[in-house]
Amino acid sequence: MIPLSVLDLSPVAEGSDAGQSLRNTLELAQQAERLGFNRYWLAEHHNMPGIASAATAVVIGHVAAGTSTIRVGAGGIMLPNHAPLVVAEQFGTLESLFPGRIDLGLGRAPGTDPVTAHALRRTLDSDPNAFPQDVVELTNYFAPVEPGQRVQAVPGAGLNVPIWILGSSLFGAQLAAILGRPYAFASHFAPAEMERAVALYRERFEPSQFLDKPHVMLGLNVIAAETDEEANYLFTSQMQSFVNLRTGRPGKLPPPVEGYGEQLDASAQALIRQMLSCRVVGGPETVAKGISEFAERTGADELMITGMIHDHQKRLRSYEIVSNSIA
């Protein structure tokens, strides 16, 4: 069966707070490790009341310290927000503390709105070469120190931190192919270019010292429950959150609402059909079949599943059902 990994945004549910969300993240990561998931990634988002993983490197350290075998990483670090040297030092530190377990996924979006991006004290450069140059600079900080090198990452230099290129368009696919890096596509919220991006990456992939053949990981929304009906009910929390975000009203993750989808206007329903089309929602049999069909259709090397569920215990159960369904 295809390897499965977990993408966690540390959702902050209505009625809860960030502290509880981060404790929930650790509990889910520990369960994912017991269940045999391959990796556990956190994502960088800013100024979003419903996401607690803004300080991504810190949360990765929290999760890695509370687990022992599962790979832990960023899916991803939004490189425009940071100096490459700082990222190299952060992930060099993580790799030094948890050797052989840290992944670094890099994205070129700010992970927030323009006003917040400005507050992050980084200028958003419109030059399309800025991101590739930053990736190369960051990569060089992990290389062994050369004689006379004036700036080095300490910790970081000489450490093997796998770098992934993230993307939701053709840009990241081309860059990952040129650099010979693994590629993770955000099909869980931006599926429109998925097939073209994957095909382009595979066609243009150039083997490197890091990777000898292309490796594709695709995002997939998965909500599993005891029955299809319950799973569709739980999924309404993610639907509400997505509609709220897209209409400029981001907030905490709301509780599920019976019949929510039917209450939406035509444009909101179309938005969900389009943007959240890569999803598997249902009971054990539905989930097993859906994951298998998605993997076969896309030819992905790995799937990274994510699911925003208001009730933490239901969320734990969802990943348990997924694991049991594909065993």
Compute φ and ψ for 266, nearest 5 degrees: -60, -40
Stretch 204-220: mean pLDDT:
98
Instruction: Give the pLDDT band of residue 246 (cuts 50, 70, 90).
Output: confident
pLDDT above 90 coverage of the chain, percent? 86
pLDDT tier, 114 (very low <50, low <70, confident <90, very high otherwise): confident
Neighbouring residues of 3: CB distance < 8 A, sequence distance ≥ 6? 38, 301, 302, 303
Lowest model confidence (mean pLDDT) among 49-53, 269-273, 314-318: 269-273
- Examine the pLDDT at 91 and tell me if it is beyond 70: yes
Helix (H) or strand (E) holding 306: strand 302-306
Report the pLDDT value the prediction gives residue 280, as an integer from 0 to 100: 98
Q: Model-level pTM?
A: 0.95
Mind listing the pLDDT tens digit for each residue in 178-205?
999 999 999 999 999 999 999 999 999 9
Comparing 125 with 272, which gets the higher pLDDT? 272
Phi, psi of 166 (to 5 degrees): -100, 155
What mean pLDDT is reported for the chain? Answer: 94
Report the relative pairing of strands 183-185 and 163-167 from DSSP bridges: parallel
Q: Residue 208: is its pLDDT beyond 80?
A: yes
| C-alpha span between 8 and 21 (Å, rounded) | 10
Does 286 have pLDDT greater than 80?
yes
Q: What's the pLDDT band for 122 if we cut at 50, 70, 90?
A: low
Token representation of residue 41:
């990634």
Name all domains of the chain by residue range, CATH numbers in brackets.
4-326 (3.20.20.30)
The C-alpha atoms of residue 168 and residue 202 are separated, in whole angstroms, by: 16
Rounded (10°) CA dihedral 277, 279, 283, 284: 140
Q: Ramachandran region of residue 321, left (φ > 0), alpha (ψ -120 to 50) or beta?
A: alpha
**What would the two tokens of residue 320 be?**
């348990």
Find the range with the poorest average confidence among 113-127, 168-182, 240-254.
Answer: 113-127
CB 272 within 8 A of CB 244: no
Residue 116, pLDDT > 80, answer no
pLDDT at 128 exceeding the cut of 60 = no
Instruction: Say if residue 109's pLDDT is above 70.
Output: yes
pLDDT at 16 over 90: yes
Q: Which residues pair with residue 272 across a beta bridge?
A: none
CA 17/CA 97 separation, integer angstroms: 28
